[in-house]
Every structure is written in structure tokens, then in C-alpha cells.
């Protein structure tokens, strides 16, 4: 074997990958802040997804909702002359309206959430492509809107501060508010909650509304960071979000959710992806690693968090 071939093979050994990871200063403050900034939209969307999965549902449309929100905000700023505040509000309202539709179909029409949100994934991505015709819509130079994705405050990236705020709100709502208790109880025994006088349909609908609004906000952060709205942003984003929630020990069967676990799940995915990039591993391995994480997390979830007596 030639020397060049030996070097090529050596590049993919675990030892060489680890050496490159160490020499690339993985644990520097600059890189860690970069990881947090890139993981911020994931953490924000995963907060809302925790509530959805805790009720026993699923939302596969968060990536597409984020793309629609980014396109709407970009169009409002670039074509309609909106200022940053109204453009952001419009995008989040549209995300909430989409969530309201999902909640109605799931809670009042009894359509499985997997079907509702899977079809929505394709519909909204198609809408974004139709509006943009496949092109990116640049944000106006100097727009305040860009600051939510690229700005810094007190030496911390703005997306990280926004993610921290979302995590705090979600933690309080799930663990210290009546709404959070209802969400957990519905996932454990929705019929028992209904018979106790709680409007289960309204609670489930509100969970999907929140998911839509938060997904839209996460999409806006991605748009601001990229500097343009694109129908192709957030592709496969929903899988990362679900993986973060499941990896964080929220039960896929409902009845158990943890925001702290979701935080660590999102960080784990972000660190793995960043480490593979620093180690100069092919980006195709990133998708493989994410897929492996998802299947292992689901396997552990079904084995460790399944309801007693339920066959899996």
C-alpha cells in the first residue's frame, strides 16, 4: 500500500479523529459559545416539543413552520416594507395559526397527530417554495431583525439568551403551573383527566398552538443568522428536535416530560455534530450519527419509560 493510501486510511481511525478533535480546541470558550449559538433554535423548538410529546402527541412540521416563518418575515421586510417588530409578530402569529389548525384536527377531529403534522410538513414546505420560487430572500442590511440571530449581549450570543429564556419559561410552565400538570396528566390518562372536569381538547389544542409559535420563532432565529429567508432552511430540523426530547428522557408514550433532560439532549446532539465537524469527518456521517442517536434513544425510551404492562 502506498504512503498516501496509508495516510488516507489513518485519517478515519478513531485515534486520528480524537487527536484532530483535541488539536482543534474543542473546549475553547469561542467554540463552546458557537455550539450554544447553533443549538439555540434546537433548544427553543425542543421546549415546545416536550409538551407535545408529553401529551402523547408528535409534531413533525416544526422545520417547515420555521421555514414558512422565515420566508414570511423576509417577504414582509424586503417586499412589503415592514419594520422588524411587525414582521416578527406576523411570522409568529402565522405559526400560532398553523398550530391552532393542528390542534383542532388532533383534539376535535381525532386525527392522529402523526398524520396531521406529517402532511403539514410537505404542505408548508411547498408553500415556502411557492412563495420564494426556490430563491433566498435577503434581509435588508442593518435590520434590527438580524440581531436576534447574530447579535451579542453582555458577551453572550443573543440566540443563547433567547434559548435560556425559553427554557426557563418552559420549565416553570411544566413543573410549577397547573397547565403543566394537565399536560402530564393527559399523557398519562386523558380519560381520567376529562372526567375530572378538565377540558382536555382545549389543553391539547393550546399545546399545538404553542408548538407552532415556538417553531416559528426558532425559524426566525435561523433566518436572522443566515441573513435571508429560504424555503430550504430547517430541512430535517424536526428530527433533531424530536431526538433531543426523546434523548432527554421524555416518554414517547406521554405522561412524563422533562425540560432539563431536553436541554441536555439538545446539547448532546449539538456537541456531537460540532465534534464531527471539528474532526473533519465527512458531513454525511453527521446524518448517520443523528439517525443512530434517534434509534438508540427511541429504543431506550421504549425499554425504560414504557408504561407498565404495555408491550413494545
H/E run at residue 137: strand 137-138
Q: Which of 12-26, 107-121, 147-161, 186-200 has the lowest mean pLDDT?
A: 12-26
Report the alpha-carbon distance of residue 111 to residue 270 in Å, rounded: 33
Q: Which residue has the cell 408553500?
A: 127
pLDDT tens digits, 60-83: 999 999 999 999 999 999 888 898
Count of domains observed in the chain = 1
**Radius of gyration over every alpha carbon of the chain, rounded to an integer in angstroms:** 20
Domain annotation covers residue 100: yes
Its domain, for residue 140, covers 27-235
Structural contact between residues 207 and 257, judged by C-beta atoms closer than 8 angstroms: no
Residues of the chain above pLDDT 90, percent: 52
What's the confidence (pLDDT) of residue 252?
85
Helix, strand, or coil here: 153?
strand
What is the rounded average pLDDT for all residues in the chain?
Answer: 85
Report the alpha-carbon distance of residue 297 to residue 262 in Å, rounded: 12
What's the confidence (pLDDT) of residue 123?
94
What's the confidence (pLDDT) of residue 312?
32
pTM metric for this prediction: 0.86
What's the confidence (pLDDT) of residue 311?
39
State the pLDDT confidence band at 4, using cuts at 50, 70 and 90: very low
Domain annotation covers residue 223: yes
Say yes or no to pLDDT of 102 above 60.
yes
Domain annotation covers residue 211: yes
Say yes or no to pLDDT of 150 above 70.
yes
Domain annotation covers residue 256: no
Structural contact between residues 78 and 139, judged by C-beta atoms closer than 8 angstroms: yes
What's the confidence (pLDDT) of residue 8?
46
Q: Which residue has the higher pLDDT, 296 or 175?
A: 175
pLDDT tens digits, 222-239: 999 998 989 889 888 998
Structural contact between residues 205 and 104, judged by C-beta atoms closer than 8 angstroms: yes
How many beta carbons lie within 10 A of that of residue 311, not counting itself? 4
What torsion, rounded to 10 degrees, do the Cα atoms 201, 203, 208, 211 define?
A: 180
What does the DSSP 8-state code read for residue 139?
P
Domain annotation covers residue 64: yes
> In the chain, which residue ranges form alpha helices assigned H by DSSP?
3-10, 14-23, 29-54, 62-78, 84-107, 113-132, 147-150, 158-176, 178-195, 200-226, 237-247, 259-278, 283-304
Domain annotation covers residue 287: no
Domain annotation covers residue 280: no
Q: Which residue has the cell 433548544?
A: 43
Domain annotation covers residue 286: no
Task: For helices 178-195 and 29-54, give the axis angle rounded to 10 degrees.
Answer: 20
Comparing CA positions, the residue from 163, 283, 264 lying closest to residue 220 is 163
> For 259-267, what is the mean pLDDT?
93
Amino acid at each position: 500500500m502506498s504512503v498516501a493510501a496509508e495516510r488516507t486510511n489513518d485519517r478515519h481511525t478513531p485515534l486520528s479523529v480524537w487527536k484532530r478533535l483535541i488539536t482543534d480546541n474543542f473546549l475553547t470558550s469561542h467554540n463552546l459559545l458557537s455550539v450554544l449559538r447553533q443549538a439555540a433554535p434546537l433548544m427553543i423548538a425542543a421546549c415546545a416539543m416536550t409538551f407535545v410529546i408529553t401529551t402523547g402527541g408528535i409534531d413533525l412540521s416544526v422545520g417547515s413552520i420555521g421555514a414558512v416563518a422565515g420566508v414570511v418575515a423576509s417577504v414582509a421586510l424586503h417586499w412589503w416594507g415592514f419594520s422588524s417588530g411587525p414582521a416578527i409578530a406576523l411570522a409568529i402569529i402565522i405559526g400560532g395559526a398553523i398550530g391552532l389548525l393542528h390542534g383542532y384536527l388532533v383534539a376535535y377531529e381525532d386525527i392522529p397527530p402523526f398524520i396531521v403534522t406529517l402532511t403539514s410538513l410537505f404542505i408548508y414546505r411547498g408553500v415556502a417554495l411557492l412563495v420564494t420560487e426556490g430563491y433566498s430572500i435577503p434581509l435588508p442590511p442593518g435590520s434590527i431583525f438580524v440581531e436576534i440571530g447574530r447579535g451579542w449581549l453582555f458577551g453572550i450570543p443573543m440566540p443563547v439568551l433567547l434559548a435560556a429564556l425559553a427554557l426557563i419559561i418552559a420549565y416553570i410552565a411544566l413543573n410549577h403551573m397547573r397547565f403543566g400538570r394537565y399536560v402530564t396528566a393527559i399523557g398519562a390518562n386523558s380519560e381520567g383527566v376529562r372526567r375530572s372536569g378538565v377540558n382536555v381538547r382545549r389543553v391539547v389544542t393550546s399545546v399545538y398552538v404553542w408548538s407552532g409559535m415556538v417553531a416559528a420563532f426558532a425559524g426566525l432565529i435561523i433566518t436572522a443568522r443566515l441573513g435571508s429567508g429560504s424555503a430550504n432552511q430547517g430541512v430535517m430540523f424536526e428530527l433533531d428536535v424530536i431526538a433531543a426530547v426523546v434523548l432527554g428522557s421524555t416518554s414517547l408514550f406521554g405522561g412524563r416530560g422533562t425540560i432539563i433532560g431536553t436541554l441536555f439532549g439538545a446539547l448532546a446532539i449539538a456537541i456531537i455534530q460540532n465534534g464531527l465537524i471539528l474532526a473533519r469527518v465527512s458531513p454525511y456521517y453527521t446524518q448517520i450519527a443523528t439517525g443512530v442517536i434517534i434509534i438508540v434513544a427511541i429504543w431506550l425510551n421504549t425499554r425504560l419509560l414504557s408504561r407498565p404492562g404495555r408491550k413494545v
